[in-house]
Structure 1
């Protein structure tokens, strides 16, 4: 239960309003709440509720109102005492107490958390507190004061976070409140409205003199003097800063905690703009000053000139209280570091905010990396600069390819008018020729994308240039081992490039524009072909080493290693690498990528892999099945892709224990397909045990799938669900998403057999979506057939037919006899349920022929039951009865009788026969 007094009195129970209509009962509740759970005497309650207009018997009348209140909110909520009454509640149940607690908590927090907590507290107010409760006037005045103080605290926190704050309306309502007036002046000054800030002070001084005969407080006068004396060389912003609210707050927090903060990041990321925005929201007695070192050759001279200092800079700053921005320090890093250290030691009230592509590396420095904009902020910046009304995929592609670097986005936006968004996106492969827009007033190094990176390149030592250009052959970054191997064992140089913000961690990655530039430098050095060969060799050897571990205990670790290098593998692709990655691609469900990789491999083994992946995708012409000297595992894989669950070929001569385990699995699936369930159970368990011993998670998943199906056939749905659930967890843990799709469908089948159609549909829908994401048509088909089975059993014949018709031709071509037989049987039952005997007969006769080809007695039995339905509908009841008996005998012969939930068709047909 919750109680609301910050607005009209309200009570909620389980989120629903509690009606308390009687005025005096509402007043009684308000009075008890105003005393915050303390005992309230009977006399006090009577006086507050009736004043001078007492009822005939005040105490009895009060007792009646107490009874009514207990009836509304619960008897245990209102406690009786000899001298009065007390309301029982938890503090969190009353918005007034919740408000006070949030305000108290907020005052202990830094600005970002403070602003968030105060916003939450102020949202609790729905109107005037204790509305129409005059007896609560002292409480109302206290709450109003606290609310106003919270609004002031919120405004102060937001100003410290660099946000714009509008306080004019609040000041108009409280014109004599000095703290509020000071915040208003600061907000106006921050918005560049210095004259209005000063006028706000003069207005208050007039009010105070006229109304109270006093002057403004020393604290407010200090704010006035700081605005009056404020001199700064900070440039006024010409556009809002996008996507940096958190960085602004973090930087201001760092400047409160220490006196030297360095913003680091690659060129064009917006360090200068961020530093200026941070400084705009800060107030120092001797102001804020910007020393731009871009063109400087001697940093102290620039600082002295900015601060108008003659003589020794250190002496002049000893007593100054200011924030000094040292902007673009990277080309004078050692000199700037020495200067910052010397000034900070001499001037205890000096704060320094530096921007640089690398840290100053001095004691006390707090280094804050400035990251590229996230996608949403990058898109917003590009949209506003290019004046676009909508955002399409090309815009997002541009923002991603330019790494969210604001300067690159600004340059690109200037090209939209001439090229359009689509053409601009298409031309980014030649970005240095495209992004050359003139930016009048910008430094030369910010005129073009090439100039921006030229600046950073020119600051590197020859060794650093060598390492950076060689790293450009990688894609998506690389590990430390790869970086050392490719660049020549130069860990110290790599570390310096990370410090210079040219190489991004945690992987040693180059931003796309830096990589493109560095690769041009690599070509100029005559090393491009040589480095590409080294890159191919390194990643081919890595994949070959990984392939040794993908069928054993190192499977998960190596899968994750290979996942991280996907971009490098695509860049280094060659036939040898493709063969090494073939099993990885299969495990990860990357069938399309594998198919493309093997498309031009003319070796027998390569053609086998190509054919196998093409069969798994099932979306093009049936591939040519190769002959010749094919690797045994590629041959097994091709057979697996051809036959699916019905079993692939066995290894002629197993090479190792994994081959033997998979041979057992293959035999188990074949036994299951022909209805030899005991053999399938024995072989499945043997395969599972051996694969568990080997540590092959994929193999364990496959063996468990057989055992789960066998449990389903036995009618042990609990065991089948347990196996599916455990296997799903393992598949998800390993990232085997095609197998996870099968497991979701398996659980959907169990829910279907239990009659839980809602759960069955949810699971099958999830399975279909997951399989579709993997381009795994067989998994999609398996899941959507499950949706069809559910729809028919719920009587939704049209939906069921749509599901089955969608996949009938696919199954005839790709899905195998088992899937085709099931769909034909289901379509036949739909026709029978609609009364179309001849259509049903034709479908079931075709289905019986296909079912006999599977050699699965259950499939044959299902087709016979369907034929019985068609004949019974046509009046041939004797023949129908014979068919039902034959089907039942088949099911009994393999120990797989129809489960109770699946007897609907047979019971319907038998009832029709009995009624004939």
Structure 2
């Protein structure tokens, strides 16, 4: 069970499905037990909490009734009766309030500002509203609510200070204003706001904020601001240098490289060589690290790429290709890169993305970035084609590739990665200087605390390292065996195991035979159940969670409840890696286990369970994407993207149309929210061409989804939906049909076919109301609000209320924008700005970057209308930065035009001309004619070019 109290009380079961807790008193009982954190609560205390001094007759029996009702919902074993009272059985991380505090503590303990900021943001994202909102009026909850609110405000202040160190002062200046107004006496919050205002060029506003603090403190508490706030006030008056924003160089480091769990040993010279070759000033633009599996190519590549982000202002990015099938093409690789770089939702805004490689190359043509393509040996030809395209069109781009063979294209520098250096002598000093020995000793000390290299064990350790040819993976696998064997016994055991020729795989190079022999030896030491779990894990393309491991590995012979213990044993043996709650196999181990899976004759059955597991996961998450758990679901599906793609590939190639269609139907709304429309189109088309049995309704549903996607990705002159056609016809589920009518209808209106589109949206509204689907009703109302000036505001208000009721943040964003447009039509500029700021916060929360740019642009337009040139320029600068980072060309054009208008309002004609000419150039190169027309019109207004 998972309990959420940072907002309305919510309960989720182990499968991620909501659990309804009926009746207010039962919910209050659960809240009281949660407030006590799993400790015992006397019956008298519970009676007081539930009835506040006015208990009913027979209150003890009534309480027992409520407890029984709660047990029926949660399970009898979760609500325990003890002599000291009733207790709710809680695991460590099942309450979001506990998780919130843990994330905050982890953030405060971390030294890296970017990581601190992410952890604080993750903690704050758990809040869905006021804590314990259901029982906020109950006396028993007051102290806990106050405690959690105080913790939240402290984390907000921590987060603001970290964001200041990261240079996010412009955003903070805008965001903290409302929070400061709600908490005018919090000096630390006020000081963060003052710094943000000052760094954003608003010194006067920063000084005014201090005066407001002084006024409130004197009026309400009769005191003056503390020394910290007073000192900051003086520093702002003097414009002291330490208040300046962080330098651009410190803000330009963007990367998704993981932090290694262990140190890299024996590769310092190689790291320096790779870095020197990839230096942004070097002529070398492609380096391929080659070597046998298990030799440490990926670790070397990541180590070399670390600390290079400052040389590449647009980032250093790791793109994992192990999960792509061997039949993948260059566009599949480009799609993976687009997603990794965060260009996915902006790519969707461009029509006709059939050439993803070409689009990506144009999007990053002016960027300076390093892309690490990892595990490419099964994709040498498509990776070579992709690399050639990037190198020929992106002069500031560098590629670092890991593969067991070179790509063989012009400009490639091949860097072989040999095994670690072996000891040449037997004395402990010389042995210790060997890279292979150093790695073995470090991993041995991790497995057996206190283990050190000494004169007694040095010969045995040296023999082990030579026997394993210095291959890092083999050394790491064998080190854990020191828990049960001495170094001498281990060396003897290896000699005995590796000498017989049958252990060696014929036809393999000697060192590859060594690794194979090491894996064979490790396999033989496992129990049968451990072997079953290990080989079945190989079906995953990108690791898995514990629940997925249980679903895929368990069958009639191996019960699911045994999988966690078996996984733990495999982690202890270094055959499985556990990272951030996921279990992974290293690529060499995965390849070996895939062979063992085939030998056991289990490949088809395990793949079928894998496809079923991820299809069901997608279906469980699909509906929750429209509710209060939206952000969590987006993150879960983000994490499982590679496995979900693998499941679809297996379903299509395995002639399992039923699961393929179920999977794409469940995933399309996620792809839409993430802007991955090209992926949606290709996946739907693949599922619809798959062979095998499928439900007719599933096929009709997929065709309707595809129609809506094609309307959003096709040129205006194309006709993916014939005139007068309703792709949703024949669907029996009234809720699904109404939602798909809305989806296709909005696609038609965006395609210029307004009458047909509005007809379908109106039908959607009627269908949703008849089916009592509040989400569908809200979506239709918000869409119709933009097409009906007379009823637009009332439609938007009702749509916003319904989206708020179901807890859909994306829907609230859309409704807020409609309300802002209505407020703008009514001339209510203050409300317009407030609503656009609300939309901006939600868009940033969900990572919807085109929506972020749109909200910033609307805010800039509002500032211009109010005559605030500097504020408008700040907003458009931020919109330009996000647009350029995400390759959102339309956003860049709009931002440049906005900056031109702001400069003109400020009287700077030269700056206005510069921005408008940039907009014109970008518009002509990327196509949107409207942008060109607007830029030309503004230039003509300035009399810088003749009117057309």
- Which TM-score band applies after superposition, normalised by the shorter structure? 0.3 to 0.5
Q: TM-score, normalised by structure 2?
A: 0.41
Q: TM-score, normalised by structure 1?
A: 0.43
Bigger relative contact order, structure 1 or 2 (CA pairs below 8 A, ≥6 apart):
2
